[in-house]
Chains A and B, each alone.
Chain A
């Protein structure tokens, strides 16, 4: 069998480092044309490779195993996204066996996302789970004795990815897309039945203008949530506030389950702020640990508290901690009165183990050190973040450019169908548009087969002579 037949050598990309805040992130690209496609976004700095830079050869001519320093720019507008280093690998001597590269960029989710989006726009496809490994294997880059292991990896990754994709799809968005898909499937069935049963006693109108309008609006609405989805993907800002030593950093660590923030007994340890992304009930929460309030001692602390106020203003939710052993004092009251109308405040009664005082009304009891009450607290946070609605009933929001692209493809096809219908384009040709719309939606939720169309026909039309 020919290698070339085994898979399409189209160019793929994926983030190789874990998603989240980090110093450096690595985005991997691979595919026969990956380097030339990447070179359209990359501009080398003097002395390095890159496009349109006098004296330096373009990325496409870079040798394997070389590093190129430069910037990623938006083609056209020229907007600079990030300063990066690109490691170039040549076919035959790369992990996948194809031309490939690794982009080292700054590890901010926003930047990573921007670069990935640019790569998609340049024609890269998001790699399927395990696809780099699969390609490596198919190109003979992995020892054949490892094949068994590779198989397991392919399977495990796919299953896990499937589960992850499904969990992301669970609930409202999946239901929404399914309902749109069912709507379009009904229209296609109405088209097909008129084709396959030409003599049947069927109504003239295939589908009402109102119905088409409806599905188009639904698709448009969903596409427009992409911005919101982005925020969701990057995390909803939630801030931990309170006086110094109220246990903010302890709670922060408890949520993150790692020793990221320095937790100490000295008041005002956290002079700057810390951020970390945690997942609560499938929603990414960008948690900020801030400098605590106290009677300001020196300028550095003043600066820290100013910053805390800025973060509080930018956050969706404030978790205000009070040390149960000291109780509510003037500073706390001041804060509460300043934020009394805010629906975004949760008062937390921390260190319940150190105090015999009962938890006051309106406070939420936890023990940040042991994690007691923290699961309940997460639930309350999720509930508050979603404005009291559960995720299930929340308006669906899309969070990936892949979904956005597929939805836009479906939308475009549906619009083409509408135009074609009004221009009396023949039905069989119009069927191509509807099938395209269904294919696009099917890629998000699962395939649509011709059997589905027939089932739809026979359950809704009384046909057959």
Chain B
């Protein structure tokens, strides 16, 4: 074997995958079509956001790279949803795109055990009789062998770009698609589908009248994404974004030209994401709405290019220019790159085990947009997990599968392999049943030990976690023991009604905040801000969190009932035909997973239980 592992693709999934394997001392080869395109942010210039920000911090807790990359390349930071609740606050940063990509490439180049090579993989080497992967064949005829292969080809598989009447074979504007591999996958028998996504136009900053738009500045305080960076250690510039709105005239122009849209003209067959519709979709589907937001976001510090967030479009370039110029502030806009739609092959992810290994070929793992997801963070999370499990595969260990109750990563992967997807899949907080327990600030408590036992976290990080745990416990203990006294009520009248009760109790009052209690109790002042924040949320929402933990317990019982992978559903009398077919397709590994498959009824689960107990 030439290598232990081969990673195909150098996007956000590929980066995490290559780093995990090489860091775990496996000789790893990354093959990518263009080394200069490693870590490119193909669409919006931002990392994080709702649920995604949690993903980034979970990736970090497990020992991934994304958080560290964005911490060093951000050009604006914000905590979203501060007012909407503890569980749904999420960090998001605007990234300097070029810097981000450069840094990602540099980190890869510096990694031990990792080689990078520029070529295009067109086929696999397999041991068909054993059903195992053996390596890859490239466009230039090179053959590389390896015991495991991770496929992270993003939107490039048999990809096609559309701008109005124009279309070409391309994965990103100006970059050729990966041709051949999609066909090879189909030949092997994989269920391959088509998806569509889009991106808006990029414009020259100096052609915009920013003074006619609302300015949106970042937070003054930066909370690092990575748990290895302490609060206050991030020293990055903060540049604003701008907000403007489409007008009725914009909508008229779009409607008048809708017949020239490849989407509405029927040229694009792939299904696009409902959560991130193109501007033509917004206008056509919601005719009552008379304006749509546009965020003008900088692409970096060393460029004048700006990203027009909210108006992705595949209308012809002349139409794009015309409708954009009807927007206040964009009257004289100069387009540098037009918006476009891209249609690409994806593999239905129900063909994967929760480890992200394909059910069809042993040792072949698939991660990222190839599995039908969308978003850098979703891709990175899968790349990380696929590589962790490829490492487990190489070591002969059982895979690491995170549950829905312990991580957004668990929700993401379970959704994919259990339900599959029909549109580009994006993570939302509402997809997580137990989101109160999945706060971004607790990602290290939830997952860092796991990262350590895999070998991706150093002992130093673990010690820091232990110190954090202890610190948090101390604060909680202090708040439970310290009762509200008269003098506290004098300092803070709000506390008067909690007289005689503990501080911990008082904190449950929506009006009372940790920042107030610090005034009354000097000992609190010496504690770390992050820890105090975490304790405040823990205690304030204790009741709700407990309620959810009870649900989690019920959930775990179902998850703990394992189904053998070779379970024979054809011999199971009493299953409905629909359930039998779905079970055979998804091959659930637990009763919990089986129950989540759509169309499965409780009677099917009862039958399954009877058979499992019987142990056929």
Contact = CB atoms under 8 A, between A and B. Distances in A.
Nearest to A426: B85
Contacts of B310: 464-465
B80 interface: yes
Interface string B282-318: 1001100101111100000000000001100000000
B292 A134 contact: no
A158 B603 contact: yes
Given A148-B573, A428-B86, A428-B436, A454 B293 contact: no
Contacts of B562: 1
A151 B607 contact: yes
A423 B508 CA distance: 13
Contact of A429 (B87, B274, B574): B87
Given A151-B607, A194-B84, A428-B435, A138 B309 contact: no
Interface stretch (A197-205, A261-269, A356-364): A197-205
A192 B430 contact: yes
Interface stretch (B27-35, B388-396, B523-531, B608-616): B608-616
A462 B286 contact: yes
Nearest to B596: A449
Given A198-B50, A428-B435, A6 B88 contact: no
A159 B429 contact: no
Contacts of A426: 83-86, 88
Contact of A432 (B544, B557, B574, B615): B544
Contacts of A393: none
B541 interface: yes
A330 interface: no
Given A148-B573, A427-B85, A195 B613 contact: no
B5 to A, nearest CB: 34
A151 B614 CA distance: 11
Nearest to B609: A6
B606 A158 contact: yes
A137 B614 CA distance: 9
Describe A's contact surface by its main secondary structure.
helix
Contact of A427 (B88, B292, B293, B510): B88
Contacts of A462: 277, 282, 285-286, 289, 292
Contacts of B548: 432
A152 B573 contact: yes
Nearest to A428: B85
B602 A454 contact: no
Nearest to A147: B614
B229 interface: no
B560 interface: yes
Most chain A CB atoms below 10 A, which of B430, B560, B607:
B430
B51 interface: yes
Contacts of A464: 273-277, 282, 310
B428 interface: yes
A453 B430 contact: yes
Contacts of A425: 510
Residue from B86, B274, B282, B433 having most chain A Cβ neighbours under 10 A? B274
B445 to A, nearest CB: 19
A196 interface: yes
A144 interface: yes
A6 B561 contact: yes
A299 interface: no
A198 B84 contact: yes
A162 B275 contact: no
Contacts of A451: 419, 598
A337 interface: no
B603 A162 contact: yes
B574 A155 contact: yes
Nearest to B610: A151
Interface in B7-44: none
B610 A150 contact: yes
A154 B614 CA distance: 15
B273, B294, B310, B611 pick with most chain A CB within 10 angstroms: B310
B547 interface: yes
A329 interface: no
A334 B282 CA distance: 75
B50 A195 contact: yes
Nearest to B431: A450
Nearest to A193: B430
A314 interface: no
Given A1-B613, A426-B85, A134 B544 contact: no
B81 interface: yes
Interface in A172-204: 192, 194-201
A4 to B, nearest CB: 10
Contacts of A200: 293
A19 interface: no
B428 to A, nearest CB: 5
Contacts of B602: 128, 158
B610 A429 contact: no
A8 B561 CA distance: 12
Nearest to B285: A462
A7 to B, nearest CB: 7
Interface string A430-465: 111000000000000000011101100110001111
B422 to A, nearest CB: 11
Contacts of A208: none
Contacts of A431: 430
B429 A196 contact: yes
Contacts of B245: 201
Which 6 pairs from chain A and chain B are nearest by CB?
A: A426-B85, A428-B85, A465-B310, A158-B603, A462-B286, A464-B276
Given A151-B610, A426-B84, 12 more contacts: A1-B613, A5-B557, A6-B561, A130-B606, A195-B50, A201-B291, A426-B85, A428-B85, A429-B544, A454-B275, A454-B430, A465-B293
9 contacts: A5-B561, A6-B609, A158-B606, A195-B429, A197-B50, A426-B86, A428-B88, A457-B275, A462-B286
